[in-house]
Amino acid sequence: MSIGKVIKDLVVAAAFSAAASSYALAQDSTLKFGLCFDLSKSYTFVSPQVAQAAQDLATLTNMKGGIDGHKIEIVVQDHGNEPQRGIECYEKLKREGVFVFDMLSTPVSIAVLPRIMKDKNILMQSSVGRGDAVDGSVFTQIFPVGATYWGQAANDIAYIKQQRGGDLKGAKIGFIYLDYPFGQEPIGVLKTLAEREGFELKLYPVPLPGSDQTSAWTQVRRDRPDFMISWLLAGGHVVAAKEMKRNGYPIEKYISVNWLNEVDIANIGPDVAKGVKRGTNVVGGQDVPVIKEIMAELYAKGKGSGPEKNLKDVYYNLGLANYSVAFEAARNAVKQAGWPVTAASMKAGYESLKNFDANGLLAPVTVTAQDHGGGGKTRIEMWDGQKWVPQTGWLADYQDLIWQIVKTSSSGFKVE
């Protein structure tokens, strides 16, 4: 199925999913979530799966009575990863009564953030956007639930330290990354940890879009780092796998950022990819209660909002995780302040989440007025040739360093 067909199906499903929901739900007060996503340009490797998961979870929730008897509506619109279009999407949906937004794009999230703050609406910002937005004392309306890239990179170092018996002195750790802001973001943390722990950090920048990695891996062959941490995306991992094979570097020493999914594994080759690792705050695979319920109650009955194959993609799990958190925050809001849910009560609902893991779907999150990230936990998973296998428990290491960086960065932000 072409990406165009998938996008068309998702947008159509978004428009009609509310009509298919149970008529027992109240029709005059719907809680709307505005998904201004890139469905046509840069983020199409992840946005369709996340949008589909959000719609499926909303449908399932509505079938079970919604939020306190009121239905959820998922409104999807394409911004093409263009900040101005993202702003236009925000303003349009705001006029339609939406106050909870998700942009799933770093440049668009950054562009919309000042308006969200000024309007006192809510921005979901998991996996994208400003890393310092976990500081809830400054970014009061922004909820980047999950680990920042800073925290994820620090947890990768903690894992490598475990593998070396608790001592990194004398180790050599490589960092291969796309040479633009996404890839560069963890460098400061890694340099600081290198000084603290006594390991040698080797940097291997790769030009966009990640298809030319020859010189980087030639240098890796010379340096022979003990582990490689990777901040690449999609096809970049496929190229990296080929270069590792060509240069004799073991793939089991490769630890990817969370953006490594089943499509990438298939393109690398399930057997070739055996041993590759990734950091994640979301459980991979379909052996998760909510996915089993969605398969039984929606897809087995022809009520799914998109291709069933997407349910085997970790980015679908990511979408379920993000919206499980959001819907739980809405439930908290109703318990604390009653209906209707408002931006203020939704904020309080988020800040009341305690050890919430959506029945085993994600790392337990505890959100407070000070910490909008939920604790910054990730774990390392390894591809065993057929499935992802956890290699650690949930980690949240070097938090003193992470929060020092967060506070230094957030201190310069002011609402205009």
Radius of gyration over every alpha carbon of the chain, rounded to an integer in angstroms: 21
Asked if omega into 207 is within 30° of 0 (cis), the reply is no
Read off the DSSP letter of residue 168. -
Per-residue confidence at 401, pLDDT binned at 50, 70, 90? very high
CA gap 101, 123 in Å, rounded: 5
Same domain, 225 and 352: no
Q: Which helix (H) or strand (E) holds 130?
A: none
Same domain, 310 and 237: no
Kindly state whether residue 416 falls inside one of the protein's structural domains: no
Give yes or no for a contact between 225 and 173, defined as CB atoms under 8 angstroms apart: yes
Give yes or no for a contact between 173 and 202, defined as CB atoms under 8 angstroms apart: yes
Tell me the residue range of the domain where 203 lies.
149-280+379-397
The total number of residues written for the chain in this structure: 416
> pLDDT of 94-152, one tens digit each?
999 999 999 999 999 999 999 999 999 999 999 999 999 999 999 999 999 998 999 99
Same domain, 292 and 338: yes
- Measured in whole angstroms, the distance separating CA 270 from the mean position of its chain's CA atoms is 23
> pLDDT of 240-292, one tens digit each?
999 999 999 999 999 999 999 999 999 999 999 999 999 999 998 899 999 99
CA gap 124, 144 in Å, rounded: 6
Task: Using alpha carbons only, give the angle 214, 218, 220 rounded to the nearest 5 degrees.
Answer: 120
Residue 388: CATH number of its domain: 3.40.50.2300
Closest CA relative to residue 150, chosen from 191, 195, 197, 205: 191
**Amino acid identity at 375:** G
Quick one: average pLDDT of 205-211? Answer: 95
How high is the pLDDT of residue 415? 82
Same domain, 41 and 90: yes
Kindly state whether residue 413 falls inside one of the protein's structural domains: no
